[in-house]
Structure 1
Amino acid sequence: MAQGYTVFLSYARANQSPQLDKFQKRLRKEILDKTDVPEDQILFFDTTEIKTGVEWRKALADSLRTSKCLVCLCTPRYQSSQYCGKEVQVFLLRRQHFMNAEPNQGRKASLIYPVLWERPGAGLHQQLTAFNFADSGFPKKYVDKGLKALASLQSERDNFVKTVMALADRILDSVKESDLPEWPPLPDFEKIPSIFHGDDTANAYGYSIVMLHPEKAQWKPFGIPASTLCDTVAAQTSRVCRQLPAGPDLVDRIFACEDRRESVAVITDFATISTEGSLERHLLDEISKKGMRNCAVVVLADSSLSSQDAYTHAFTKLSSDFPDMVTSEVPHCLLAIRSTVTFLPDLIRTLERVNVALLKRDTPTKLEDDQSRQAAKELGVDTDVNPTLSGPGQLR
């Protein structure tokens, strides 16, 4: 099992400096003084925690998926970094999955801490403004100048120490209030979208799951929470898998997923779609009529359909109620899923079938001119013939 740190320190490589090193050492000391956490599990800072000879990508990914909270050193460079945006995205997804679990509803889960290192000229990204970067316990000069300025001046030493102490206190309070569980192994970083860039190319050929049930995201088909389903699919397929809300705009969301070549599995049960006049039945009817080529509908059978006669009757009714879906180009209606033993493998196989159908629709283009090569690079497609060396310094 990967070692879980209390803090994952996320920063842009261009902002590495003596002041940054001073900050991470002081934050580490404050947490060490206030807890019994082993010193080597307090803070992940890649330049000190990844030793020579260690596979750095795996070490970074393991720390990102197991650390308890994220500290973001906010600067203009940070918010323009694809790699930093991916790190924030992973923590946002982990936090959302944690909060979706029934026992965690109502928790604050303040597990992402933007630190004003340098004042971003355009302000904080909207995804970061949801998390307080300061309150009355922080010195005013920190808010006015940023932490790097306080770390640079001996005259501001007291304000620097007060800021780091306040940050450490809030981190420890948050970790105590919300114990974020570790995630399964992450997909390749190239497949993780950057929250700062609307990185659709990273989502391409990823997966989404919709819980079409009156209990919405709290429904547990065969006792399995939605967040666990997404985690399992991601771990077993090495693709980004997220949960889509089953609201009135579901059809539009699925169409948007198709633009990103994202495969969607709508999970429901026979009792739900048999309820006349329900939102769930209306949404499934819309999905059926639209003939969405990136969407499969997985219908779970309950114990009342254990006999062959009951199953045959149910399938006949499904075919009658939703003829467009059953006869469409991608007909994946799986009514015969009756237990956890077959549910998870069949769900993954269904998503993979839809993914293959999407891949077959996309005809590859041979790059024969500079303009095409440039367009490919803008989409994040590597056109280099010769391999290149890369490391943390090149990616951030």
Structure 2
Amino acid sequence: MTQEIQGTVADGYEAVREEFAAFVASERPDYEGQLSAYVGGRRVVDLWAGDGVDAGSLYGVYSSTKGAAHLVVALLVQDGTLELDRKVTYYWPEFGAEGKGALTLRELLAHRAGLVGTDTGFTAAELADDRLLAERLADQRPFWRPGTAFGYHALVIGALTGEVVRRATGRTLQEVYEERVRAPYGLDFFLGLPAVHEPRFRPVQPMEPTAKQQALLDSLPSGPHTLTSIAFNRHTDDPTDLVALPNDRTVRAKGPASVGGVASARGLAGMYAAAISEVDGKAPLLKEDTAAEFGQFHSVGYDLVARTHKSYGLGFQATADTWHAFLGAGAFGHSGAGGSQAFADPRSGLAYGYTRRRNAFPGGAAPENERLVGAVHRAALAAG
């Protein structure tokens, strides 16, 4: 039975609805997802599908959280509160232990710290609490010489940059985000989900790989002491279950800045729209120079954790590389392990958000984003 597509599109974006409907028709009958896009600060796509889903349904968005976290950092750099080329120890002296003293904030944001985890791993309580993570990480010896290479700091980058924010401002990253970004725009993108919104949360459902996909998963390196295992906290007696993370109320309530965000597609796209465009009469959050610097390529090539080609700006993924067939230079955003994707393309004025309930294979931006991003981008160009 084909699911009905709900929501609206602006004139000229009908092809996006058709592309979303074609994708949903090809998916499992229990598919749930949302798609939203803004152009020039105006919402032009607002679609969803699935039993019991609406535009306000909330999903765990995993590493798409990093986009919200590092929008805060970008704002503080823009204000002059933080300086990218200062050493991290200027703000956080304890960070300098074990040979990390020369690392700059710019290098930290670009995943160049070599501090992807700890030798003994983290407890579930630590993973939910950025302050506890930062305390553990300050004493850890880096896994490569800081600044010489890069690798995805999957579960910890938000705690590291968040501690810099806390030391510089006296407030948590989550508090600054709430005051300066989420609340002023009424965004359904939370770093710390209030209990009143819990009924809107849709628990993540685990991926069910095909036989071919499972064979590929089984072939991936899985040694307990690899960088990848350390970065994803799988080298402990109680390895982290990524599916379970957003389904834990403690994680949702505390909103750890690497993976703990809860959002709708509207919330994801709305945040990036606010970052680069005038929205509801409010000036863009980021000046052009700030957006350009944070979207600029800083780490490109072989990622020591992901074991493949990756590209990062400052705290954000360099989305211009991910969707190079569509997006302009300087596009920035972040995907999440469950399949979510969100970004801003300053050159076209496009802001995009996508969520889904069931984890996608193989993790990160779900494959359907390629066709959906392409459809939105073509419509935006045609609409002028």
After TM superposition, the score normalised by the length of structure 1 is: 0.22
Larger relative contact order (CA 8 Å, sep ≥ 6): 2
Q: Which has the higher helix share?
A: 1
After TM superposition, the score normalised by the length of structure 2 is: 0.23
Structure with larger Rg: 1
